[in-house]
Amino acid sequence: MPILSVRDLRVEIPTPGGIVHAVDGVSFDLHAGRSLGLVGESGCGKSMTLRAIPGLLPHPGRIAGGTVEFAGTDLTATSEAGLRKLRGSGIAMIFQEPMTALNPVMRVGDQIAEGPRLHLGRSKAEAKERALDLMGEVGIADRARRFRAFPHELSGGMRQRVMIAIALSSEPRVILCDEPTTALDVTIQDQILKLLRRLSQSHGTSIVFVTHDLAVVAQTCEDVAVMYAGQIVESGPVRDIFREPRHPYTLALLRSVPDVERVRHDLSSIPGRPPELSALPVGCRFAPRCTLARDDCLEGDVALVTDLVGRAVACLHADECAADARRDPAVVA
């Protein structure tokens, strides 16, 4: 049984220009100890999906339909008090910008120790002990001194390590990561990703990883779901999908990533822009930008179809796309 199961999730944001369907029927399963990457362009609804899981959508966004089942409980039907108990101890979150996500006037050690005191019922001394242990685990040297440091006294990488320690502090079963390495430079990014992966494996924690960076997904996740205009267009094991994408959008995304090992002369961008989420086109939402689009793509909504090996794709011409990908692989296997 999956630890986290999202079914047909819909998120609406009422705006003066009409209702924006930021997330429009998203479904995925996250199994214990596994990590899932949610990828897509800015505004595709990946962050909204993530924020909807613990019930913390930014105002005035709201969940308009669907279920979010965590360990058998439907979170969309849970009271605020019930959600508060689950947050931190059941589901934790790591943010993009560790400077703003840490309280600037609180010592980082106290920030790590706060969760264990509240959720695990530790005494002050025990919580401090745990905080120091966690700081060691996330690779912070000179712990006693750093415990008393304020966030601005630490480097970006160090602050993100503190965020990870905070996320792990109350022994959650799922960690939601919202672009946790986007604000870091590449060498630090690599360290943080390896750390996250190692810790999630040793603690048996599942991870949902929201990012626009396919390289990060390749490095961190076992499964991937590609989102476009509020919907998942393709999902499945990272290896399979990167080797042979069956959705033209996935293929286009992969082809737009620069590759150091193989100098790609035809580094391509995707023409056009994603559709306005308040005025969606009829039919496949990617069709206006798709090189494989035919007339039938515009006729009606394209369903996400799951095949026998655990891959799902929402494209009428998936075979054609796969053939194209085989002819000119986007990723060196």
Catalog residues that contact other proteins under the rule CB under 8 A. Answer: 54, 56, 84-89, 91-93, 95, 97, 99-106, 114-115, 118-119, 150-152, 163, 166, 170, 183
Nearer residue to other proteins within complex by CB, 105 or 260: 105
CA 213, 218, 223, 228 dihedral sign is positive
CB 195 to other proteins: min, Å:
19
**Residue closer to other proteins, measured from CB, 107 or 143:** 107
Nearer to other proteins by Cβ, of 72 and 104: the residue is 104
CB of 168 to other proteins, least distance (A): 12
Task: Tell me: cis bond preceding 60? Omega within 30 of 0 counts.
Answer: yes
Task: Report helix, strand or coil for 195.
Answer: helix
Q: Is 267 exposed, middle or buried (0-12, 13-18, 19+ CB in 10 A)?
A: exposed
Minimum distance from residue 320 beta carbon to other proteins (Å) = 42
Q: Which helix (H) or strand (E) holds 66?
A: strand 62-70
- Scan for tokens 């990488």, then name that residue: 157
Q: Residue 97 or 240: which CB sits closer to other proteins?
A: 97
Helices (H), 14-142: 46-52, 80-86, 98-101, 108-119, 124-137
Q: Facing residues of 26 across strands?
A: 9
Whether 112 contacts 134, CB under 8 Å: yes
Tokens of 66: 């669907």
Residue 101 CB, nearest distance to other proteins (Å)?
A: 4
Minimum Å distance from CB 11 to other proteins?
16
The residue (of 61 and 236) whose beta carbon lies closer to other proteins is 61
Q: How far is the CB of 6 from other proteins (least distance, A)?
A: 17
Q: Which is nearer to other proteins, 131 or 322 (CB)?
A: 131
**CB 161, min distance to other proteins, A:** 15
* Cβ proximity to other proteins, 92 vs 251, nearer residue: 92
> How far apart (Å, rounded) are the C-alpha atoms in residues 130 and 112?
9
Cβ contact 288:273 at 8 Å: no
Which amino acid, one-letter code, is at 162?
Answer: V
276: tokens are: 């306005």
Structure tokens at 41: 């362009």
Using the minimum distance from each CB to other proteins, give the nearer residue, 51 or 311.
51
Look-up: residue for tokens 């059941």?
Answer: 90
Q: Is 18 left (phi over 0), alpha (psi -120 to 50) or beta?
A: left
Q: In terms of Cα–Cα distance, which of 171, 169, 184, 90 is closest to 135?
A: 169
Q: Which residue, 30 or 297, is less far from other proteins as judged by CB? A: 30
- Written as one string, the DSSP assignment of 239-285 is HHHHHS--SHHHHHHHHTS--SSS--TT--PPPS-PPPTTSPPSS-T
Q: How far is the CB of 156 from other proteins (least distance, A)?
A: 10
DSSP state of 64: E
Smallest distance from other proteins to CB 224, Å: 24
